[in-house]
Amino acid sequence: MSKFQAPKGVSEYFPPNSLQFEYVRDQLINNAKVAGYSLIELPMFEDTEVFTRGVGESTDVVSKEMYTFEDRGGRSITLRPEGTAGVMRSVIEHNLDRGQLPVKLFYSGAFFRAERPQAGRYRQFYQVGVEAIGYNDPEIDAEVISVADSAFKALGLKNYKLNITSLGDAKTRDLHRKELVKFIAGLDLDESTSERAKLNPLRLFDDKREEIRSKMQGAPLILDYLSVESAEHFSKVKQLLESLKIDYFVNPRMVRGLDYYTGTAFEFEHELLGAQSGIGGGGRYDGLMGLLGGSDLSGIGFGLGVDRVLMACQAEGCLPESINPLQLFIVAISQEAKSVAFKLVSELRTLGVTCDMAYGDRGLKGGMKAADKSGALCTLVIGDDEISSGNCDLKIMKSGENVSSTLKASELVVKLGNIK
């Protein structure tokens, strides 16, 4: 057993599972690209204040879960626990908000939270996210939601549901907060929970403890306090989702885990994942750029958990049987044949064929065993007879059928293209 092991609570992917991980991640990214979102590549760490100011000090993410340390220059640095605050910092720093609006960006990568590890909940986890910055437009809200929904549908997922709500505008939240604070003042709460409620009373809706959930049953709901403008905006978002045939459930008690959310908020849940059922979510954050020192622009985005989406796909059994298989595996049974195979592999790769060959002195039996383990669609054996004649047989591994060809790379490309 190796002396060194990965830190507790991280998700690692290696073949063959890494192929499934890559497939899911790329599908999530591709749907963002199709909708006109461009890549933004962000640092793994930021000044801690980017998250304390942007995410909110009352959140579990900031108060309990961040990996924060002091660098050699005495600066407080935090490994990124989420993507939106870092995107906003970059947009402000590089003046992206002063160009064409909306600014439409996507990101992908690892994020870090000091959580208690359990199935689907990791200390290092992977997300794909999008941000659309510049307009408070119901059509953009619906587009962002539809990008996530279409990605899940493209993966073949069926057993998920979309929860939506509105957290309203400033007028709505002020009115609701006053009534909610009055209600909470009448509850018998421990000191820690009371302090948390003072920072953001909405956090109690998100409390996982059954005794708090029970006490909050009669709490005033923000949907009952929506201003005319917020109600109209939310109504339009729902109409747009219906026009796209995206099913949704209005959940008036839903509170996202980050303080910057305003207006439309949403979560996707998968029924086969148990307690950790969330596979992604997001919402509007109209005041975040101002909090971080930028212009007062609207924005909306989401983060999709690649780890959990992969688990959902595995639970439903909707992943392809073979993901990105090699088209060809070449077995050479002599030193001369090995040289020919090596050159042929290089030529085929240049022509776009995914291929590999048996290395080492394995012989035919060992080479065919390697071919079988590779998962390649076809195998090509090269020996003295094939070299002298210039002809060969492509063996289709699934059926055992042979397809005649020459050893010319151009002809092999055509033959392989006809094999499914």
Question: Residue 276: what pLDDT?
Answer: 79
Rounded to the nearest 5°, which phi and psi values hold at 393?
-120, 130
Question: Residue 3: what pLDDT?
Answer: 84
What are the structural domain ranges in the chain? 17-169+227-316, 328-415
Question: Residue 56: what pLDDT?
Answer: 67
Peptide bond into 16 cis (omega under 30): yes
Question: Residue 257: what pLDDT?
Answer: 55
CATH classification code of 328-415: 3.40.50.800
- pLDDT, mean over the chain: 90
Question: Residue 405: what pLDDT?
Answer: 94
Q: What's the average model confidence in pLDDT over 337-345? A: 96
Question: Residue 271: what pLDDT?
Answer: 92
Question: Residue 59: what pLDDT?
Answer: 65
pLDDT higher at 210 or 58: 210
**Hunting for tokens 């941000």 — which residue is that?**
131
Element (H, E) at 26: helix 17-34
Q: What's the average model confidence in pLDDT over 324-351? A: 94
Is 17-169+227-316 a CATH 3.30.470.30 domain?
no
The token pair at 344 is: 């042929």
Question: Residue 2: what pLDDT?
Answer: 63
Question: Residue 403: what pLDDT?
Answer: 93
pLDDT band at residue 317 under the 50/70/90 scheme: very high
107, 113 in Cβ contact below 8 A? no
- Name, in order, each residue with C-beta under 8 angstroms of 309's C-beta and a sequence gap of 6 or more: 24, 28, 152, 155, 157, 279, 280
User: Edge-to-edge, what's the strand order for the sheet holding 38-39?
Assistant: 38-39, 103-112, 124-133, 299-305, 278-284, 262-270, 160-166, 249-250
Question: Residue 256: what pLDDT?
Answer: 64
pLDDT higher at 164 or 254: 164
Q: How far apart are CA 93 and CA 295, in angstroms?
A: 11
Helices (H), 261-304: 288-291
Question: Residue 219: what pLDDT?
Answer: 86
Q: What is the pLDDT of residues 233-285, one digit of tens each?
A: 999 999 999 999 999 999 988 876 556 678 899 999 999 998 778 999 999 98
Q: What is the pLDDT of residues 48-58, one digit of tens each?
A: 988 888 676 65
Q: How far apart are CA 311 and CA 160, in angstroms?
A: 12
pLDDT higher at 129 or 184: 129
- Residue by residue, what is the 3-state secondary structure of 218-235? CCCCHHHHCCHHHHHHHH
pLDDT band at residue 200 under the 50/70/90 scheme: confident
75 pLDDT higher than 70: yes
pLDDT band at residue 60 under the 50/70/90 scheme: low
The percent of residues in the chain predicted with pLDDT above 90, rounded, is 63
Helix (H, G, I), strand (E, B) or coil at 296: coil
Helices (H), 41-169: 48-54, 60, 84-93, 138-154
1 pLDDT higher than 60: no
Q: How far apart are CA 97 and CA 95, in angstroms?
A: 5
The Cα-based distances of 240 to 134, 138, 229, 237, 245 in angstroms read 19, 8, 17, 5, 9
Q: What is the pLDDT of residues 2-15, one digit of tens each?
A: 688 888 889 899 98
What DSSP letter does each residue of 143-181 carry, written as one string? HHHHHHHHHHHHTT--SEEEEEEE---HHHHHHHHHHHH
pLDDT higher at 219 or 149: 149
